[in-house]
Chain A
Amino acid sequence: MTTLYTSDHEWLRIEGDVATIGITDYAQSQLGDVVFVELPKVGRSLKKAEAAAVVESVKAASDVYAPITGEVIEVNEALAAEPALVNSDAGGKAWFFKLKISDKGELGGLMDEAAYAAHTA
C-alpha cells in the first residue's frame, strides 16, 4: 500500500487498482471547521483535475479535484452525517471516495510523503 499526495492537498492510498482519496490534515487545518461535504455519485467517471467533491466550512466552499482519472466505486457516507470527521481524522476515517484507477501512469506525477512534507513546509 502506497500513499501519494497532490499539490492541492489531497492524499491517495493505492491498493491494487483502487485509489482511496481524501484531503490532508494540512488542508483541513486551513479550511477550518467543516460543516458539509458533497461527494460524487457512485459510478461517475472522473477525469483528472475535474471537480469531484465539495468541502464547506462555516465561511466558504472549496472544491476537491479528482487527482487521477477513474470511476467512482464507493463514497464515504459517514461524512454526510458527520462532516467534522474531516477535522478530526482527515487522513483516516474521513476518506472521501474510492476510484478504480484508469491509468496507473498518472500516479507518476504525484508526490510521496517526503515531497509533500517539503511542499507544505
Chain B
Amino acid sequence: MLAHENSPLKQTPLHALHLARGAKMVPFAGYDMPVQYTAGVLKEHLHTRKDAGLFDVSHMGQLVLKAKSGKVGDAALALEKLVPQDIAGIAPGRQRYAQFTNDDGGLLDDLMVANFGDHLFLVVNAACKAEDEAHLRAHLSDTCEIVSLADRALIALQGPKAESALAKLCADVSSMKFMDAGPRRVADIDCFVSRSGYTGEDGFEISVPADKAEALVTALLDNPDVLPIGLGARDSLRLEAGLCLYGHDIDATTTPVEGALEWSVQKVRRSGGARAGGFPGADKILTQFADGAARRRVGLRPDGRAPVREGAGLFADASSTEQIGKVTSGGFGPSLNAPVAMGYLPTSLSAVGTTVFAEVRGQRLPLKVAATPFVPNTYKR
C-alpha cells in the first residue's frame, strides 16, 4: 500500500488547475493533491452541502474487466470469485459497492463496480490500485482481460446543485438515479458518468480522458454554484455521511460483518443463496453472518466539543484500564457543528445510545454510540 512512499509524487491531469486556484497541496497515496483551496476546509464542506463541490479524484484507479467470451455475465461471475457481492445481478447501466476479501475474511480494498453492457468498469482506491490490478490479473486472467485506464481523470461533482450544474453540459443526467452509471457525452466529451459519490449528497462521478479533464472542470467551475473542494473537506463530508475510509475504518483485518457492511453483501452470496460463498474468506464471513462477530464498527458522537481523532483508545468507563476498542476516523463535522467519529467496539457495547470513553491527551472523554449517517443522505433514488 505504501509502494509510492519513496518515489517522486505523481500529478493528476488537473495539477496545474489546482495550483492556479490557490490550492494547498499535500502528498496523498503517492500523488501531489489539493487538501484545500483558498476558501478553507470549513467553507468548502458547507458549500458542498448547500450548493455543489467539485473534487479531483483522478488518483483513484479505473479498470475495465472484460470477459474473453465477450459476455459481461462471464466477467461478473469471474469477479464474484474475489468479492462477496452479487455482481451478476448488476443490471446494465447500474453500479454497486463491493469489497475484495482475503482468505481471513478481511478487506483488501473497497470499490465500485458498474455494468457497462459488454464489460465491467471498476473504480478502486488510489493507495491499493497497483495491488488490486495485480490481484485481478493473478486470479482472473484465464477468463478475462484487465485494462487499467491510466489515461483518464476522475472528478466528483457533489451537492444539491450538482444535477443542475452538470445538466448544463449533459441534459441526459437529470433522468439518472442513484447508482446509475454509463457512458455519456458531457460538454461534447466522451465520459463515463455515475450518479454516486462519497459525501452523502446527491451527485456524480465523471471519468474523462486526461487531455480533456481541464476543459471539463473549467466548464463546471464557470458555474458560480460550483467550488473546487480539497481532500480535507472530502474527508469531513464522508465522515459525516458515515462512509468508510479504506485503510482506516476497514482494512485487511476487518470483515464486512465487523465493518457493519452486511447491507453490501446480497442474499444470493450468503448461506442458502444461489451463489453462496465462493469468495476468499467466505467460511469466516458467512459464519459471522450466522453467529455475529465479536466487534463492530459504530458511529460515535463525543459529548463535548473536543474532536476525538483516529487512534484514540476506547474504554467502557472513565477509569477502566482495559482498552476495549479504538477510534478509526474522527474529527469535526462542520454541518453538525460538532465532533464526530467512527471506531470499533465489542458488539455487546455497540448499541446506539451506549456511552463509552475515549482517551484524549490523558483525559477520558465520554462519547455515545450513534446511528450513521450522522447527516442524512440526499441520494436521488
Q: Tell me the residues in window 6-34 of chain A with beta carbons closer than 8 Å to chain B beta carbons.
A: 32-33
Q: CB distance A57 to B41 under 8 Å?
A: yes
Q: CB distance A59 to B305 under 8 Å?
A: no
Q: Distance in Å from the Cβ of B15 to the closest Cβ of chain A?
A: 21
Known: A58-B42, A59-B41. A35 touches B361 (CB 8 A): no
Q: How far is the CA of A107 from the CA of B339 in the complex (A)?
A: 37
Q: Distance in Å from the Cβ of B301 to the closest Cβ of chain A?
A: 15
Q: Distance in Å from the Cβ of A90 to the closest Cβ of chain B?
A: 15
Q: CB distance A58 to B306 under 8 Å?
A: no
Q: CB distance A38 to B332 under 8 Å?
A: no
Q: A115 contacts the other chain (Cβ, under 8 Å)?
A: no
Cβ–Cβ < 8 Å partners of B35 in chain A: 59
Q: How far is the CA of A72 from the CA of B332 in the complex (A)?
A: 28
Cβ–Cβ < 8 Å partners of A58 in chain B: 41-42, 45, 232-233, 236, 331-332, 334
Cβ–Cβ < 8 Å partners of A80 in chain B: 305
Interface string of A70-99 (1 = CB under 8 A from B): 000000000010010000000000000000
What number of A-B contacts does a CB cutoff of 8 Å give? 48
Q: Distance in Å from the Cβ of B67 to the closest Cβ of chain A?
A: 43
Known: A32-B36, A58-B331, A59-B331. A38 touches B306 (CB 8 A): yes
Q: How far is the CA of A35 from the CA of B336 in the complex (A)?
A: 12
Q: CB distance A61 to B307 under 8 Å?
A: yes
Q: How far is the CA of A80 from the CA of B306 in the complex (A)?
A: 10
Q: Which residue of A lies closest to B24 (CB)?
A: A32
Q: B346 contacts the other chain (Cβ, under 8 Å)?
A: no
Q: A36 contacts the other chain (Cβ, under 8 Å)?
A: yes
Cβ–Cβ < 8 Å partners of B40 in chain A: 32-33
Q: Tell me the residues in window 21-38 of chain B with beta carbons closer than 8 Å to chain A beta carbons.
A: 35-36
Q: CB distance A33 to B305 under 8 Å?
A: no
Cβ–Cβ < 8 Å partners of B306 in chain A: 36, 38, 56
Q: How far is the CA of A59 from the CA of B310 in the complex (A)?
A: 11
Q: CB distance B36 to A56 under 8 Å?
A: no
Q: A54 contacts the other chain (Cβ, under 8 Å)?
A: yes
Q: Tell me the residues in window 309-342 of chain B with beta carbons closer than 8 Å to chain A beta carbons.
A: 309, 331-332, 334, 339
Q: How far is the CA of A35 from the CA of B45 in the complex (A)?
A: 14
Cβ–Cβ < 8 Å partners of B42 in chain A: 32-33, 35, 58
Q: Chain B interface: which size bin?
A: 20 to 34
Cβ–Cβ < 8 Å partners of B110 in chain A: none
Q: How far is the CA of A90 from the CA of B59 in the complex (A)?
A: 36
Q: CB distance B232 to A61 under 8 Å?
A: no
Cβ–Cβ < 8 Å partners of A59 in chain B: 35, 41, 232, 235-236, 331
Known: A54-B361, A57-B41, A58-B236. A35 touches B332 (CB 8 A): yes
Known: A58-B41, A58-B42. A35 touches B36 (CB 8 A): no
Known: A56-B307, A58-B334. A33 touches B41 (CB 8 A): yes
Interface string of B185-225 (1 = CB under 8 A from A): 00000000000000000000000000000000000000000
Q: Which residue of B lies closest to A54 (CB)?
A: B361
Cβ–Cβ < 8 Å partners of A60 in chain B: 309
Known: A59-B232, A59-B235. A32 touches B332 (CB 8 A): no
Q: CB distance A36 to B332 under 8 Å?
A: yes
Q: Tell me the residues in window 45-65 of chain A with beta carbons closer than 8 Å to chain B beta carbons.
A: 54, 56-61
Interface string of B6-27 (1 = CB under 8 A from A): 0000000000000000000000
- Identify B307's interface contact among A32, A33, A36, CB under 8 A: A36
Q: Distance in Å from the Cβ of B63 to the closest Cβ of chain A?
A: 30
Cβ–Cβ < 8 Å partners of B332 in chain A: 35-36, 56-58
Cβ–Cβ < 8 Å partners of B232 in chain A: 32, 58-59
Q: Distance in Å from the Cβ of A94 to the closest Cβ of chain B?
A: 16
Q: Distance in Å from the Cβ of A100 to the closest Cβ of chain B?
A: 24
Q: Distance in Å from the Cβ of A34 to the closest Cβ of chain B?
A: 9
A-B residue pairs, 3 tightest by C-beta: A33-B42, A35-B332, A58-B41
**Sample (25) of A-B pairs whose CB atoms are under 8 Å apart:** A32-B40, A32-B41, A32-B232, A33-B40, A33-B41, A35-B305, A35-B334, A36-B332, A38-B306, A38-B361, A54-B361, A57-B41, A57-B332, A58-B41, A58-B42, A58-B232, A58-B233, A58-B332, A58-B334, A59-B236, A59-B331, A60-B309, A61-B307, A80-B305, A83-B305
- Residues in chain B within 8 A of chain A (CB atoms): 35-36, 40-43, 45, 232-233, 235-236, 305-307, 309, 331-332, 334, 339, 361
